[in-house]
Amino acid sequence: SGAAGSFFGITTAGRRFAYIVDKSGSMEGDRMKAAKQELLRSIRSLPDYAKFYIVFYDDFVEEPEMQETWLLARSPIINGVANWIRRLGAKGGTNPLPAFRRVFDQEERPDVIFFLTDGEITSMSPGQIAALNDRGLRTVVNTIAFGDDSSQDLLMKIAQDSGGVYRFVDINR
C-alpha cells in the first residue's frame, strides 16, 4: 500500500523506496547521465509522505551526506540530494552486496528496492540477497540490467525470489 514508485518503467507500491545504483567505471558517460536523470525523476515523482534511501556502489558504498536514515520526498530534501547526485562520478568495480547490506540494515525496512547494474556481478548470489530479505516483512526487489545483460540470470532470480520485476533497459536506442 502507499505510494507508487517507478524506476525505468517498473512501478511498485510502497512507502519506503530504496535505490541501489551502479557507479562503476563502465557507467561512465551516457549510462551514468541516464541513471542519474531517471533517479531524480523517480524521487521527484514520489508523494511528499513517501520516504527514499539512495546508495550508489562500485567497490565501495556512497550515499548522500545528509542521509542518516530514510529521507522524506519533499522538495528541499530532493534538491539537496540532486546536488549531491550531480557531483557523482563513475569509477571502480561492481560490488553491490555492501549496498544491499546498508539498505537492509536500516531500522525501517524498505518496501521496495530498485537495483540497477550495467555489468557482470560475480561478488554476490541471489541466496545472499534472499537471506538479507528473510528478516521480517519481505521487501520487493526490482532489478534492472542497464545496457548489459551479462548478469541477467542473477537479476531475474533476485527479482523472482522477492516478488519483484526484472527489466533489461537498452540504453543504445
Does position 98 have pLDDT exceeding 70, yes or no?
yes
- State what percent of residues in the chain have pLDDT above 70: 99
The whole-number pLDDT of residue 1 equals 57
The mean predicted confidence, pLDDT, of the chain is: 95
Alpha helices in 7-93 (DSSP H): 30-45, 75-87
The whole-number pLDDT of residue 113 equals 98
The whole-number pLDDT of residue 99 equals 98
**pLDDT band, very low/low/confident/very high, at 3 (cuts 50, 70, 90):** confident
Report the alpha-carbon distance of residue 40 to residue 47 in Å, rounded: 14
Instruction: Give pLDDT tens digits for 28-46.
Output: 999 999 999 999 999 999 9
Please check whether residue 110 is in contact with residue 18, taking contact to mean a CB–CB distance below 8 angstroms: yes
Q: How far apart, in Å, are the Cα atoms of 172 and each of 31, 59, 84, 86, 148?
A: 9, 25, 26, 22, 10
**pLDDT band, very low/low/confident/very high, at 135 (cuts 50, 70, 90):** confident
The whole-number pLDDT of residue 119 equals 86
Instruction: Give pLDDT tens digits for 44-92.
Output: 999 999 999 999 999 999 999 999 999 999 999 999 999 999 999 999 9
Does position 172 have pLDDT exceeding 80, yes or no?
no
The angle that helices 152-162 and 126-133 make with each other, rounded to 10 degrees, is: 20
pTM of the model: 0.96
Q: How far apart, in Å, are the Cα atoms of 154 and each of 53, 130, 134, 165, 168?
A: 23, 12, 18, 12, 13
DSSP lists the bridge partners of residue 18 as 53, 113
Report the alpha-carbon distance of residue 165 to residue 173 in Å, rounded: 22
Nearest to 64 by CA among 77, 51, 46: 77
DSSP lists the bridge partners of residue 166 as 143
The whole-number pLDDT of residue 137 equals 81
Does position 101 have pLDDT exceeding 70, yes or no?
yes
Taking the CA atoms of residue 122, residue 126, residue 131 and residue 137 in that order, the dihedral angle to the nearest 10 degrees is: 130
